Amino acid sequence: MIDTHCHLLPRIDDGPRTANDAVRLARRLRDEGITTVVCTPHFSDRWPTPTLVARERHAELRRALEIVAVDLETTVAAELSVGRALETSFARLRVRAIGGRFPLVELVRDTPPDALDAVVDRLAAGGLVPIFAHPERCRAVQLDLSLLDGPRSRGALVQVVAPSLAGRSGDAVWTTAWTLVETGVADLLASDAHMDGARTPPFAAVAALVAARCGEERREALTETGPRRVLEPATAS
């Protein structure tokens, strides 16, 4: 399986505090059947992570994983706030995009309804396609799932996260997340893991639950074939 949203890099945002913490989380993800992780440190006003710092932390992580022989492929992108997606230069967005083309844009509880189309419009001008991260947490989407229809018709992707499907974020989030998965609106399932601990639900168990409720083909689309498609541009380059 491929995890397209994970805060695995140490000492950079609200993810692992140390390299050892990052290794423990990486080992857990690998043990659950994840073979590739896209490291997505926040790029927001609160955490304006420079690309250079993210790459340095990634190099540190790679050295640590090699020492303890954790066989996990990793790459670096970012999780952008809506504001950063709308204001950052296209050149700076591309180096933070998954596969060089798909910026991961975080929707939070208070993201306004018109933000989704604004993000799609702005990124399209630079040849970029947004992946909307955990829209199930956004109150506007909870109230009106059709807000995703226009962006999706223009190529935008939808990513739900394991904590939402596991019920860790409340009933409204849980209901919306499962509706997105069961109706085929969701394109990707990711861990959004920050730490190894009780707050991070087992990704394998959530993926198995998707298979039980929606079928193995749906589970594979969300965790294997879908993620592989967004990573292909980077692989091809």
DSSP at 102? B
Of the chain, the percentage scoring pLDDT greater than 70 comes to 97
Does the pLDDT of residue 193 top 90, yes or no?
A: yes
DSSP at 187? -
Q: What is the mean pLDDT of the chain?
A: 96
Domain boundaries, the chain: 2-236
pLDDT at 236: 39
Helix axes 203-214 and 171-182, enclosed angle (nearest 10): 60
Q: How far apart are CA 152 and CA 144, in angstroms?
A: 14
Give the HSE-up count for residue 48: Cα atoms under 13 Å, Cβ half-sphere: 6
Does the pLDDT of residue 101 top 50, yes or no?
A: yes
CATH of domain 2-236: 3.20.20.140
3-state helix, strand, coil in the chain (%, to 5): 50, 15, 35
Q: Which two tokens stand for residue 131?
A: 């992946």
Q: Is 190 helix (H, G, I), strand (E, B) or coil?
A: strand
pLDDT at 198: 63
pLDDT at 234: 52
- What are 121-154's pLDDT values in tens digits? 999 999 999 999 999 999 999 999 999 999 999 9
Q: How far apart are CA 121 and CA 186, in angstroms?
A: 20
Does the pLDDT of residue 38 top 80, yes or no?
A: yes
pLDDT at 199: 74
pLDDT at 235: 47
Average pLDDT over residues 197-204: 84
Do residues 137 and 107 touch, judged by C-beta distance below 8 A?
yes
Of the chain, the percentage scoring pLDDT greater than 90 comes to 95
pTM of the model: 0.96
pLDDT at 237: 34
